[in-house]
Amino acid sequence: MTWTAANWPHVLELTGAHLVQSVLPVLLGALVAIPLARLAVRSRVLRPVLVTGSSLLYTIPSLTLFVVLPLLLGTQITSVANVVVALTLYVVAILLRSSVDAFEAVDRGVLQASTAMGYRPLRRFLTVELSLAVPVLVAGLRVASVSNISMVSVGAVIGVQSLGTLFTDGLRRSIVEEIVVGIALTVVLALLLDLLLQGLGHVLTPWQRAGSRSVTTRLLALGRGAAA
Amino acid sequence: MTDIAIRFEGAGKTYPDGTTAVEALDLEIPRGSLTVFVGPSGCGKTTSLRMINRMVEPTSGTVTVEGRDVTSVPAHELRRSMGYVMQQSGLLPHRTVVDNIATVPRLNGVPRRQARERARELLATVGLDASLAGRYPAQLSGGQQQRVGVARALAADPPVLLMDEPFSAVDPVVRQDLQRELLDLQQRLHRTIVFVTHDIDEAVLLGNRVAVFAEGGRLAQYATPEELLRAPADDFVADFVGRDRGFRSLTFVPAHDLPLHPVAVVRPDGAEGVVGPGSVPAGGWVLQVDDDGAPRGWLRPGAGGAPLVGGTLHRPGGSLRSALDAALSSPSGLAVAVDDAGRAVGVLRATEIVAAVERERQAQPSGTAAP
Amino acid sequence: MSLLASALAWLADPDSWSGSGGIPTRLLEHLAYSGLTLLLALAVAVPLGLWVGHTGRGSGVVVALAGALRALPTLGLLTLFTLLLGLGLMPPVVALVLLAVPPILSGAYAGIANVSPALKDAGTALGMTGGQVLARVELPTALPVILGGIRSAALQVVATVTVVAYINLGGLGRYLIDGLAVRDYSRMLGSVVLVALLALAVDAVLALVQRLATSPGLRLAP
């Protein structure tokens, strides 16, 4: 643990940078993907375009995006903004599909009943539809956030600071401990964010606390992950 | 060899959590009969059925098929020797109709060509067009899927057919067709069929014998449909069989000794006449018939207004129930009797039908007293 | 956009297509690493996923394992294995296998576990043994989902193999790493286009396989 002891302020700093690059794309991606998905569900044209488009986006390697984006955005290749935008695109790609599924899984009868009771469209979306879509939405978010955290470290190859820096630096200087610490912290971050999202889903869906649906939701999450 | 095909001896099923699905069941199912297990949901009728092919293993007692304990052969071999039809057809979605039907012969090692050939024959047996052979289950209607399910169960020519609510997921009109076809099929094939349903009407219609199960897996009564309707063993059975059972039990009483009366008829060309024995006084109801003599409707006495739509018809060999229904549904109160070709041959009077019901009641010591 | 033009110029240059560091060689290396990785991942994940899906035993472990493996950073594993095992083919391949296992495992497990119980019941009632139910009922009906998982894994592997150039191996990532070192952006962008095209091509081939392997009856089903 000598290396860790000597370098913990640096490690902490990199953890912070990693966290920013992990959380921001998930938030931004969710803000883009969820409304888009809702629009896509209703549209015969938009749905195939968005679903196919997002799966095409997913075929582009992250390293590739990190390199191409600065050319398009005019940012520095090593800037954080660059990584955030690239990863946001990935989150959108993963989330769009699972969010479309989430909205499609909402019982139409309930929506019709809400309209019949006098809900106007926006209010119905916010208070009924969104709530009912939460379990599947959260399942998609969890998959997106976990793979995102792992992808952030790739930025280190082109010089963007994150926990990935411990990998490139550790390899160059042959310090196994540095790499192991990096992996461990990445996994811890992933677990913490996952727990946070799980908790969020739990709080937002009090009607599901009987717990009988949790297995289904997990299965769905797995299926989505596999099909993404 | 006895004439008992399937025998339950103290067969029971209790799950590890202590719930009893079936109490110790004693039941004998005659060879070549269609036996129906009926009861409310959770009464153990399906569990009992599934004990026959060991989809459920009894926790007590034994089940024997053709004198052989079902546990004495490997489960998969036992199952291949019995046809099985389930509620949600259970067809393999990735296989065509013909390959679905050929499933069990293929499992038994029959060459593909031969198995398919046999499968094509079976399509006709269950009343499906040969052109459906290459379709996939998703391209079939619910009724067609169930027919394929029946064909699949028959493919290996099993002496025993197990049917678990096979018709309950199809619409009522199709269900009636399927029920009638099953009866036709059984007339030709004489299999030992065990049929599970929650619908007492279906049970009474199809069964040679009906086993009524009560909640908790108790066998409440095992009897012919006629006996079940006429003399329910207890309040549970009486309640389950329902409020119309007195009327429905007349299904099993032949109406051959009812006197036939003459009736005035008028043909489309205006020609008037009489059918039936004897003559009729003028001024009564007049039956409108078509050129072939089939009943079309009734004209009110006094010949005023349009003809009234007629009631149901009483056919040769019909029961007291059909006679009574024909009288009650006819605007004239007279039941129109027709011959096999559908021509009117006379009328039956409601009062005489009711009198026949009364005679029938007195002939039966147990009676049909309402609960 | 001049940079794009120069990237295309690099792609069009015959010099880029010849020699030991030419595009055909790098492309084959890239495909070879990806193929080897996928084969190893399939050998591990498919049987495990099928077994767990069929028996229902250890499903909790599989869900947790797939989640945990997803959280492991591939770059971290790549560098760690290289440090521990030395340079060579196996360290990066092992790291990439760990990346490919979760989607394949989840696909195989979820595919089999989600086959309708009524269908499995029908298979058993017709007299199929456990193995026959797996081979004749579960596997064919779950095939689209299983192949979907494999497709998703293949996509990730082809994209991520780019990174192995970082530890002195070949593949299309070579241009990216070498280009970065000398700030040759046209070569980097050119290689990026190549990787994206390769990923699309691999995905298209697997999509075709998925379609051909799926019974028309399943495509018709709602």
pLDDT digits (tens, 9 = 90+) for B258-268: 888 998 888 88
Domain boundaries, chain B: 4-252, 263-357
C68–A227 C-beta distance less than 8 A: no
pLDDT mean across residues, chain B: 88
pLDDT at B241 over 80: yes
Q: Distance between CA atoms of B193 and B156, rounded to whole angstroms?
A: 15
Q: Distance between CA atoms of A115 and A128, rounded to whole angstroms?
A: 10
Q: Distance between CA atoms of B293 and B278, rounded to whole angstroms?
A: 18
Lowest mean pLDDT among B141-150, B326-335, C76-85, C133-142: B326-335
In the predicted model, residues of chain A with pLDDT beneath 50 are: 211-216, 219-228
Q: Please report the pLDDT score of residue B25 as a whole number.
A: 92
Q: Distance between CA atoms of C134 and A33, rounded to whole angstroms?
A: 38
Q: Please report the pLDDT score of residue C222 as a whole number.
A: 57
- Residue range B148-167, pLDDT digits in tens: 999 999 998 999 999 999 99
Predicted ipTM of the assembly: 0.79
Q: Which helix (H) or strand (E) holds A173?
A: helix A164-173
For the domain made up of B263-357, give the CATH fold.
CBS-domain (3.10.580)
C140–B92 C-beta distance less than 8 A: yes
CA A34 to chain centre: 12
More confident residue, B73 or A225: B73
Establish, for the pair of chains B and C, how many residue pairs have beta carbons separated by less than 8 Å: 76
Q: Does residue A204 contact residue A134 with C-beta atoms inside 8 Å?
A: yes
Find the radius of gyration of the CA atoms of chain A.
20
Question: What count of residues does chain C have?
Answer: 222
- Residue range C91-101, pLDDT digits in tens: 899 999 999 99
- Residue range B87-117, pLDDT digits in tens: 887 899 999 999 999 999 999 999 999 999 9
Q: Please report the pLDDT score of residue B202 as a whole number.
A: 92
Q: Please report the pLDDT score of residue C126 as a whole number.
A: 92
Please check whether the domain covering C3-215 is classified as CATH 3.20.20.100. Answer: no
Helix (H, G, I), strand (E, B) or coil at B205: helix
Q: Please report the pLDDT score of residue A26 as a whole number.
A: 94
Q: Please report the pLDDT score of residue B368 as a whole number.
A: 45
Query: Which of residues 186 through 215 in chain C touch B, CB cutoff 8 A?
Result: 214-215
Q: Please report the pLDDT score of residue B303 as a whole number.
A: 62
- Taking residues B123-134, report their average pLDDT: 92
Long-range contacts of A116-120, Cβ-Cβ distance < 8 Å, separation of 24 or more: none
Query: Which of the other chains make 3 or more beta carbon contacts under 8 angstroms with chain C?
Result: A, B
Alpha carbon of A69 to those of A65, A79, B124: distances in Å?
A: 6, 11, 66
Pull the structure tokens for residue B213: 């199960």
Q: Please report the pLDDT score of residue B61 as a whole number.
A: 94
Question: What count of residues does chain A have?
Answer: 228
- Residue range C113-123, pLDDT digits in tens: 989 889 999 99
Contact yes or no, A with B (3+ CB pairs under 8 Å): no
| Residues from chain A contacting residue C67 (CB–CB below 8 Å) | 146, 194
Q: Which of A147, A179, A222 sits opposite C79 (nearest CB)?
A: A179
Q: Please report the pLDDT score of residue B367 as a whole number.
A: 45
- Taking residues B106-135, report their average pLDDT: 93
Q: Which of B94, B96, B162 sits opposite C140 (nearest CB)?
A: B94
Pull the structure tokens for residue A43: 């549209």
- For tokens 């202590």, the residue is B18
C80–A183 C-beta distance less than 8 A: yes
Query: Which of residues 124 through 153 in chain C touch A, CB cutoff 8 A?
Result: 145, 148-149, 152
C118–B94 C-beta distance less than 8 A: no
Q: Which helix (H) or strand (E) holds B63?
A: strand B60-65
Q: How far is C131 from chain B (nearest CA, A)?
A: 11
B90–C118 C-beta distance less than 8 A: yes
Q: How confident is the model at residue C195 (pLDDT cuts 50, 70, 90)?
A: confident
Pull the structure tokens for residue A133: 């879509």
More confident residue, B253 or C198: C198
A157–C163 C-beta distance less than 8 A: yes
Q: Distance between CA atoms of A204 and A102, rounded to whole angstroms?
A: 15
Task: Specify the DSSP class assigned to residue B266.
Answer: E
Q: Give me the residues paired with residue A56 across strands.
A: none
**CATH classification (class only), B4-252:** alpha beta
Among C141, C100, C97, C104, smallest CA distance to C119 is for: C141
First and final CA of chain B: distance in angstroms? 42
Q: Please report the pLDDT score of residue C1 as a whole number.
A: 53
Domain boundaries, chain C: 3-215
Q: Distance between CA atoms of B249 and B237, rounded to whole angstroms?
A: 14
C121–B92 C-beta distance less than 8 A: no
- Residue range B356-368, pLDDT digits in tens: 888 877 776 554 4
CA A81 to chain centre: 17
